[in-house]
Amino acid sequence: MAETIKILSGEDYVNHFDSKAYTGAFFSEIEIDGYSFAKFRLKTLHKIYSKGNIRGKVLLEIGSGPCIHTVIPAASWFDEIILTDFSPSNRDMQEKWLKKDHGAHNWDNFFKYYSKLDGNEDNWQQLEATLRPKIKRVLPCDVYNQNPLDPIQLNQVDVICTSACLESACLDKDAYHNAMKNVISLLKPGGKLILIGVLNCPQYTVGSEIFKCFSISRDEVINTVKANGLDVIELFDDDSSAEEGTTIFNGTVVILAEKK
């Protein structure tokens, strides 16, 4: 009898998510085996931030994973950046990078690429030196909680960024809507949301484990943002996809929106 493959979700992120395998598989380079979603994210974030009007005191990233690349563009625009994640392993990877510890993921190529977009490739190390002290806290986060940062009570922030988080945390449409509502509660009126959504992704592989996702369409993501009291300012699309093995997705959307 063939062995049943267990697909993980929810609390499994606490004990079974291999952060090092994740960063190695998806973020060892800007572009891996034809997957250009990381390059698309940085190019799009450069378009958003280079205008100079997405700025403020605090940027909160919800569900950072073990990554820091999506806050690289924010380094010069905020006084404080807060990273969060549900998985202890992911938070440990973030802390290792902040402390320059052994075993930290090497994000040099991402700093170099973003600095090149900025026309300042030779000074990429300055960008890294600017970002590291801006990241003041790495916090636990659970988007299923009405206050995702509970027990911490945080004043509403200027900007929230979230990338491939809600579709990974949620298993159905209602859960996705409620998680979005919980996240948006941390954003001040007039504050901006930058949401990077991976589309039509029922599952993905990390190391030897398969994790379930909520497979959501572009229109469903946009409608959920609008239904939670935000006006969409700008949309950016990427058609990169994967349909090999147990990692499946078809497209990415980046949404810049403002809370009413």
Contact 257, 237 (CB under 8 A): no
Backbone angles phi, psi at 214, to 5 degrees: -85, 115
ω into 66 cis (within 30 of 0): no
pLDDT of residue 1: 42
Residue with tokens 């809600």: 166
**Model confidence, pTM:** 0.95
**Residue type at position 80:** E
% of the chain surpassing 90 pLDDT: 90
The DSSP-derived string for the chain is -PPPPPEE-TTHHHHH--HHHHHHHHSSSSSBTTB-HHHHHHHHHHHHHTTS-S-EEEEEEE--TT--GGGGGGTTTEEEEEEEES-HHHHHHHHHHHHT-TT----HHHHHHHHHHTT-GGGHHHHHHHHHHHEEEEEE--TTSSSTTTT---PPEEEEEEES-HHHH-SSHHHHHHHHHHHHTTEEEEEEEEEEEE-S--EEEETTEEEE-----HHHHHHHHHHTTEEEEEEEEEEEEEEETTEEEEEEEEEEEEE-
Q: What is the pLDDT of residues 156-203, one digit of tens each?
A: 999 999 999 999 999 999 999 999 999 999 999 999 999 999 999 999
pLDDT of residue 33: 72
Find how far residue 128's CA is from the centre of its chain.
18
Q: What is the pLDDT of residues 98-140, one digit of tens each?
A: 999 999 999 999 999 999 999 999 999 999 999 999 999 999 9
Q: How many CB atoms lie within 10 A of CB 25?
A: 17
Please provide the average confidence, as pLDDT, over all residues in the chain.
94
Taking the C-alpha atoms of residue 45 and residue 27, their distance in angstroms, rounded to an integer, is 17
pLDDT of residue 211: 95
Residue with tokens 């062995």: 3
CA-closest candidate to residue 61, choices 42, 86, 44: 86
